[in-house]
Amino acid sequence: MWYKDMNILDENLFERFRVVKGVASLLSDSSDKERKDALLSISDGLKAKKDVIFHANSLDLDIAKKSRVSSSILQRLVFS
């Protein structure tokens, strides 16, 4: 794949996956209010990091274009 030689995966990624898996288990045992509050918190966090997320997406698109990724894959990378 085009990203194998890129340094886009930080060394803590797999640890983050383990944490998310644990949180998913907690969420399944939580109340509706707790789940709603968690989703609102996630939404707030995404909004707060919107500029960083869009900038990273732009960099991903540039790398993909330079690596001649197919147009169908590029379309999936574009935020709409």
Which pLDDT tens digit goes with each residue over 5-14?
445 555 677 7
- pTM, two decimal places: 0.60
Specify the DSSP class assigned to residue 5.
T
Amino acid at 48: A
Neighbours of 2 (CB within 10 A): 13
Per-residue pLDDT, 22: 84
**Extents of the domains making up the chain:** 15-48, 49-80
- pLDDT at 3 > cutoff 80: no
Question: What percent of the chain stands above pLDDT 90?
Answer: 36
Report pLDDT digits (tens) over 51-66.
999 999 999 899 999 9
